[in-house]
Copies of this chain bind each other. A is one copy, B any other.
Amino acid sequence: MSTFEKLSINTATIKKASLAEALDLSVAAGLQHIGLWRDKVAEVGLDTAVEMVRASGLSVSSLCRGGFLTAADGPGQAAALADNKAAILEAKALGTTEIIMVVGGLPDFSVSPGAVDGGGTAVAAAGGKDIVLARQRVADRLAELVPFALEHGVRLVLEPLHPMYAADRAVLSTLGQALDLAAPHPAEAVGVVVDTFHVWWDPSLREQIARAGAEGRIASYQVCDFNLPIASDALLSRGFMGDGVIDFATIGSWVAEAGYNGVVEVEIFNEGIWAQPFAEVVDTVKARYAELVAPHLG
């Protein structure tokens, strides 16, 4: 088994690469998977993207992203459902069963659904600051999407985001909360992602990773570091594994204990990394993965 058999580089890590470049880089690096953002797919159109992926021989480990389910108004809710159904169909066409869901922030503060990370803009909308209600709306919209997801064999993968993004990106803040939200639905319809950047600080992390594994809901393990000081745009504080504060050995061992042995995605938003030559970024990801992540996955 190759050290890199499970490694998948998400296109957000090499944000300025085209889809063609990202596919070529992954193949040249000897990888078998790639994580895609919808903006990269949209740049060439879905049909062309599907053809390019097929020609590359890579499998798509996940598609990012659906979500943004917190709208308080009818038109906003209808638009969110339509966009998520489109995302589900895109995922299916691209051959991945996993659509990553960033559930959205408080209606007054949430970035727009189409905003690409690193370029999001806040959109004012009715709905106030009531996070309890916003969370309830996520549950309601999720229930509406589950039948469509099941019908198409695509799993809605809830991503708890670091609490510093609770107002503008995701009112879903912990893995435990994600599992509570998933609980009414079958594991093939609603999963969770364990992203080290977002969850490393959680005092109940070991327990919740074990629970996620026992429930068969771990759809993806995503790794990157949490850099200090926090970047002036807090969204871009993600770093190469080893550059920040996260103990990958411990978290990786918990993920392995929970029975997860699937793909590991590396998704980094970082201006400095985006400015580097793509191939250098891929080399660094591989080296850090081999040193800090792979040895602990069992």
Contact = CB atoms under 8 A, between A and B. Distances in A.
A247 B135 contact: no
Contacts of A168: 228
This protein's copies in its complex: 2
Given A226-B167, A229-B234, A250 B203 contact: no
Contacts of A245: 106, 108-109, 129, 166-167
A contact patch SS? loop
A130 interface: yes
A293 B214 CA distance: 43
Contact of A228 (B167, B202, B232, B246): B167
A245 B105 CA distance: 10
A130 B167 contact: no
A232 B230 CA distance: 8
Contacts of A171: 201
Nearest to A225: B129
A126 interface: no
A245 to B, nearest CB: 4
B173 A203 contact: yes
A286 interface: no
A177 interface: yes
A233 B229 contact: yes
A161 to B, nearest CB: 10
Output the residue of A166, A201, A250 with the most chain B CB within 10 A: A201
A141 interface: no
A20 interface: no
Interface residues of A, number: 39
A131 interface: yes
A209 to B, nearest CB: 13
A250 B154 CA distance: 37
A147 interface: no
A180 to B, nearest CB: 8
A153 to B, nearest CB: 30
A79 interface: no
Given A162-B163, A174-B203, 13 more contacts: A128-B247, A130-B247, A131-B200, A132-B206, A135-B203, A163-B202, A166-B201, A167-B201, A167-B226, A167-B228, A167-B244, A171-B201, A173-B201
23 contacts: A106-B245, A109-B228, A128-B247, A129-B245, A130-B247, A131-B201, A131-B250, A132-B250, A162-B164, A163-B164, A163-B201, A163-B202, A166-B245, A167-B201, A167-B226, A167-B228, A168-B228, A171-B201, A176-B203, A177-B203, A229-B233, A229-B234, A230-B230
